[in-house]
Structure 1
Amino acid sequence: MIELKTPAEIDRMHVTGRFVAEVLTEVGKLADVGVNLMDLEHHVRGMIERRGAESCYWDYAPSFGRGPFRNVICLSVNDAVLHGLPHDYVLRDGDVLSADIAVSIDGWVADSARTVIVGTPAEEDQRIIRATEEALEAAIDAARPGNRLGDISAAIWEVARGHGYPVNTEFGGHGIGRTMHEELHVSNKGKAGRGLKLRPGLTLALEPWFAATTDRIVYDPDGWTIRSADGSRTAHSEHTVAITENGPVVLTRREDETPASKTGSAGRTSTKDA
């Protein structure tokens, strides 16, 4: 069942969203050459505990995972893009790091992801990160009352196609609110004008993610970490968005973030110090 949120409930989700944004801002600052992924994991654990929040990832056990997830943030490096299991890995110059986190505060959830470059950026890595950011902004712009769910999917697909990136449709966006995953799957590829009619009160996690040269994925032996099947670099951008009478409201926008252009012009530089 799709649950429409009241303005007051959206405000409560926004509280959670601001905290999620703070966490991802902090991760972006800390991600540096020589930093271990487990150091980032433990730092985020401390932030969640001090805020009195609850991780949506801890003990998460969907059908595709191997056992319950026993971390509070997904950290995916280079050709890894989704559900990266934090482990004993020291970041190197030029690594691409995707960080994804969902937490609950007072019963309301927000979910967001960003991709940064550690150390020296490569142009091709900057390009794919910008593409996911542009696709996310296009998806947000399409999340308006009267539009259809397919308009969001088509907006993401159009940006990907413009950049020449294939799109995987096995994992995408989703409904969100009282739990991390509510009704509605939001594919990153679709046709405009089709699907559910968007209404005020609908809250969605929109998350375009691309691999440079493939739409196929493989899993690590850990049963969680998802990689591009051909080892090509990846990127992932995500925001929690509320559809309101006045249009979309991004509940997880970071203070250090300049929204990328939907037309393909440069947005912010997605290096660690952006």
Structure 2
Amino acid sequence: MAFRKPKPVPFKSPGELEAMAAAGAVVGRALVAVRAASKSGVSTLELDEVAETVIREAGAVPSFKGYHGFPGSICSSVNDVVVHGIPSAAVILAEGDLVSIDCGAILEGWHGDSAWTFGVGDLSEADAELSEATRLSMEAGIAAMVDGARLTDVSHAIERGTRAAEQKFSRSFGIVEGYGGHGIGREMHMEPFLANEGKPNRGPLLVVGSTLAIEPMLTLGTTETTVLDDDWTVVTDDGSRAAHWEHTVAVTADGPLILTPRPE
């Protein structure tokens, strides 16, 4: 019986990766600007305007604006909102809020996609550890983005990163069900879907030039969520707080390369 070699995760040439990195750099700058503007009394609609200005001044276009009818340039998800929060003049940030900003940009036809969770002022210990656990889970997934690995090796690494964070912080975290990362390139969301947990050594093969958006979403409670009546906003079913970290990452001969770096 002959075994078929698994198909590769879609890959890009070195020049195409450079173009994706240029788009990713715009996203990184937009996220840094949004974080700097995220102060008590500021609305998430104002944050949206900050991001859109950075993106358009770079000659890029916000990926999210108009995507399946989404009205914003960012997803602004506060506290118990996991993902896809719609920027609004009615959502005013307050001290202690946990804010997740997801941002995408298109530059010369290529997409960058990244998300960052941070606090407004000082966070509670639990919220700070939740965000750090999500970051560590993402870092574990990024580290698994190597030539010759399989797609679910990344999923498994993210899950192991979450369990390691639970040990580190003596706290349990929920891995949000039904959401995960994705292929990315000339479109924002491409095959394959990347689960944030699962058994290793399955699915498509990672090769040099393969690109994925790696994005764990963790909660301080449930793994279950509900989409609100606006058809976008995803909230935790138990009202627990959620965090979301994401980078666009490429496989290279020298290891994983983050294509959405944030300027210091």
Normalized against structure 1, the TM-score is what? 0.88
2:157 alignment partner in structure 1: 155
Q: How does 1:27-176 map to 2 (within 5 A)?
A: 27-61=34-68, 68-87=69-88, 88-162=90-164, 163=166, 164-176=172-184
Amino acid at match of 2:104: A
SS at match of 1:171: coil
C-alpha contact (below 8 Å) 2:33/2:50 kept by paired residues: no
State how far apart, in whole Å, the 2-side matches of 1:219 and 1:183 are.
Answer: 23
| Counterpart amino acid of residue 192 in structure 2 | L
- 1:49 Cα deviation (Å)? 2.1
Partners in 1 of 2:24 and 2:258 — Cα distance?
A: 9
Question: Are 2:220 and 1:212 aligned?
Answer: yes
**Partner of residue 198, structure 2:** 190
What is the alpha-carbon distance in structure 2 between the residues aligned to residue 252 and residue 126 of structure 1?
23
CA distance in 2, matches of 1:209, 1:150: 17
Give the whole-Å Cα distance in 2 for the aligned partners of 1:10 and 1:123: 38
- Normalising by structure 2, report the TM-score: 0.92
Instruction: Give ranges in structure 2 of 5+ residues lacking alignment.
Output: 1-6, 167-171
Whole-angstrom CA distance in 1 between matches of 2:73 and 2:34: 13
Give the 3-state SS of the residue equivalent to 1:109 in structure 2. Answer: strand
Deviation of 1:36 after TM superposition, in Å, equals 1.0
Q: For 1:168-226, what per-residue CA distance to the aligned partner results, in whole angstroms no more than 9, with x for missing partners? A: 23110000000101110000011122222211111110000111111100122211110
Contact persistence 1:169–1:189 (CA under 8 A)? no
Q: Map 1:230-241; keep pairs closer than 5 Å.
A: 230-241=238-249
Cα distance in 2 between the residues matched to 1:115 and 1:193? 30
Unaligned 5+ segments in structure 1 are 62-67, 257-274
Q: Aligned-pair distance for 1:161? A: 2.5
Counterpart of 1:211, as a letter, is T
- The CA distance in 1 between the partners of 2:117 and 2:152, in whole Å, is 25
Partner of 2:263: 255
2:183 & 2:12 partners in 1: Cα distance?
A: 11
158-167 or 78-87, larger mean C-alpha shift? 158-167
Amino acid at match of 1:191: K
Structure 1 residue 254, shift from structure 2 partner: 1.2
Aligned residue identity for 1:29: A
> Following the alignment from structure 1 to structure 2, what is the Cα–Cα distance between the partners of residues 228 and 161?
20
Whether the aligned pair in 2 keeps the contact of 1:165 and 1:213 (CA below 8 Å) is yes
